[in-house]
Amino acid sequence: MWTGNAPEGPYEALGVFGAAFHAIRARAAEERSEGQLVDAAISGMIASLDPYSGYVTATELQAFDEEDTGSYAGIGVTVEAGGRIRSALPGAPAARAGLRAGTIIERIDGLPIHAIDRTRIVDLLRGEPGTAVRVQVRPPEGHLATEIVLTREWLPLHPVRTRMLGTVGYVGLDHFDDFATGRLLAAVADLKALIGPEAISGLILDLRGNPGGLVVQAVAVAGAFLGRGEIVRLVGRGPRDVERFAREPGGRDLVDGLPLVVLVDGDTASAAEIVAAALQDHRRATLVGTRTYGKGAVQTTYLHRDGRGLRLTTAWVVTPAGRKVQGRGIEPDLVVARGGDATMRDDDAVPASHPEQDATSLQNGITEDLRIDPAGDAQLAAALRHLETVLERRAGRTGSRPPGFDLPQGTRAPDGRE
């Protein structure tokens, strides 16, 4: 198969690869091009490493870049297979036209949806800002389809969602892109101004469904609530290959020590787990919800001149308290199912606007989401009850009455992390 001299050193095994490549190219019944064989070989090699490393195409790399840069031009909908709208961004062109979750898109610019590949659907709905797209839609409860023309706008891919819940501020982060920290700071400042700097009594940071994103943004978000201390350790191949991220002493807490709750669930992953774990380890926040996903892997992208690239896991996440996240996740302090009752974790470490906004506000990356409702969200309701308990406890120490805020009727507030 191969009669040349084998190279010495770590690349000696490439001689075996070359022999196999030659045999397949010359004799295999199923013919493949040289490029296809090399792609398959690289993909198989990377797949043997871990679940998150991968060989990616130029199109996939472009999608990763879009996730990180956090903006696009479109109408503001997420579409499932079959044309069903899964979600509509409040204030975006689609929402302003009345499109909402459950609406069925039947045609795009005259093309029937069943004849369009799902990735092609996204391409057709997006485009240059100011251009128009014609869609035929049918409401969830109706049978008559109507045709509307929507104009594409620059939109945040991952807007920060806010809501005033009495004197408690709510901020939802759906991804850690380039703008996550800046939008968080602006959103909290807006909530303070709306509620009143002296009246705001606590903050809820919602990381449910957040798949992660940029590590540097996760570090910055966690650091915004910590005056000092380590945030995360990234541990590579060897014992000396450790990178530590910490906030230097003297930093200021974004909400000046107000009670903080972080909502998490099984879809909270990666960079979002870095934030949740750091705030939990420093006892700065109470985690409410269910165990997180457990993706403690950090990927580095290596680009090839032809536009393709490798996404390799180059480090594993370790929390400030030395916990490994990969495959384990983060257990919340207050375990609450989406529709269930609250039960405390048995752990000694636990101490006793309107959606019709204009495009300008959306381009700032912040949107008020009036769908946020504790009456239909057991985890959010538990977070509010916990904050009420913390405020009452603090008021008992100071002799003053805590500020009131609206709460849904429910069971007694459980104890939790302060």
Structure confidence at residue 409 (pLDDT): 36
Structure confidence at residue 400 (pLDDT): 56
Structure confidence at residue 394 (pLDDT): 87
Task: Please list the pLDDT of the chain residue by residue as tens digits (418 residues).
Answer: 344 455 566 777 788 888 999 999 999 999 999 989 988 998 999 989 999 999 888 778 877 877 787 778 999 998 987 899 988 888 899 999 999 989 999 999 999 998 888 778 888 999 999 999 999 999 988 778 999 999 999 888 888 999 999 999 999 999 999 999 999 999 999 999 999 999 999 999 999 999 999 999 999 999 999 988 999 999 999 888 999 999 988 789 999 999 999 999 999 999 999 999 999 999 999 999 999 999 999 999 998 877 888 999 999 999 999 999 999 999 999 999 987 445 444 443 333 333 344 444 576 899 888 889 999 999 999 999 999 999 999 887 765 544 444 443 333 333 333 2
Q: Work out the burial of residue 306: count CB atoms within 10 Å of its CB; fewer than 13 is exposed, 13-18 middle, 19 or more buried.
A: exposed
324 is catalytic: no
CB 125 within 8 A of CB 108: yes
Cβ within 8 Å of residue 104, ≥6 positions away? 82, 83, 84, 85, 137, 138, 139, 140
Cβ within 8 Å of residue 400, ≥6 positions away? none
Question: By C-alpha distance, which of 394, 398, 392, 397 is closest to 412?
Answer: 392
Structure confidence at residue 4 (pLDDT): 47
Cβ within 8 Å of residue 248, ≥6 positions away? 228
Active-site residue, from 177, 192, 295, 333: 295
Give the three-state DSSP class for 256: coil
Residue 61, both tokens: 């790399």
Cα–Cα dist 131/398, whole Å:
59
Structure confidence at residue 322 (pLDDT): 96
What b-and-e string marks burial along 186-204, b requiring 16 or more CB atoms within 10 Å of the CB? bbbebbbeebeeeebbbbb
Structure confidence at residue 386 (pLDDT): 97
CB 204 within 8 A of CB 191: no
Structure confidence at residue 11 (pLDDT): 75
281 is catalytic: yes
- For 211-229, the DSSP string reads --B-HHHHHHHHHHT-SSE
Q: Work out the burial of residue 330: count CB atoms within 10 Å of its CB; fewer than 13 is exposed, 13-18 middle, 19 or more buried.
A: buried
Active-site residue, from 177, 270, 369, 377: 270
Structure confidence at residue 293 (pLDDT): 97
CB 224 within 8 A of CB 176: no
pTM of the model: 0.79
Active-site residue, from 265, 281, 333, 377: 281
